[in-house]
Amino acid sequence: MSAAEARQVLRTLLRAVDRSITPATGSRQWRQYVLTEFRRGEAQADPAERQRALQEARDYAFLINSVREHKELLLSYNIGIAVEQREKDMNARAAQLVGLQVPPKAPAGQAAQ
């Protein structure tokens, strides 16, 4: 384990905490906790124990990112809305992204002019 590898793991974990946990709670407490635990782990003399701690940090960062991505997917699929309405909303959002608007749908029985 090199110092560069340890820094990379710490940065990855801090980025995951900053992106997912800090905005939700509004507190930087978890970031401080990660930094404190990382510094305490650096003081350990046993290389096997250090490697285990780094693997746990990698796994925790992966878990945080996976939970965030899962929530984003659930929101994007918007499972509480009917399929037709969801497709209509997605088309309207796509049109807005390119600067267009979806025309309003004419009531049934009226011909387009």
Q: Select the highest-mean-pLDDT range: 11-15, 38-42, 69-73, 75-79.
A: 11-15
If one compares 33 and 23, the residue with the highest pLDDT of the two is 33
Mean pLDDT of 54-68: 93
Q: What is the per-residue pLDDT for 51?
A: 87
Alpha helices in 17-113 (DSSP H): 22-25, 29-42, 47-77, 83-97
Q: What is the per-residue pLDDT for 109?
A: 60
Q: What is the per-residue pLDDT for 15?
A: 92
Q: How many CB atoms lie within 10 A of CB 43?
A: 7
- 65-101 pLDDT tens trace: 999 999 888 877 777 777 788 788 888 888 888 888 8
Q: What is the per-residue pLDDT for 106?
A: 65
Q: What is the per-residue pLDDT for 64?
A: 93
For the chain, the structural domain boundaries read: 3-97
* Res 111 pLDDT > 60: no
Q: What is the per-residue pLDDT for 28?
A: 85
Identify residue 110 by its one-letter amino acid code: Q
> Is the separation of the CB atoms in 45 and 65 below 8 Å?
no
| Whether this model's pTM surpasses 0.85 | no
Q: How many CB atoms lie within 10 A of CB 27?
A: 10
Q: Pick the closest to residue 87 from 78, 75, 96 (CA basis).
A: 78
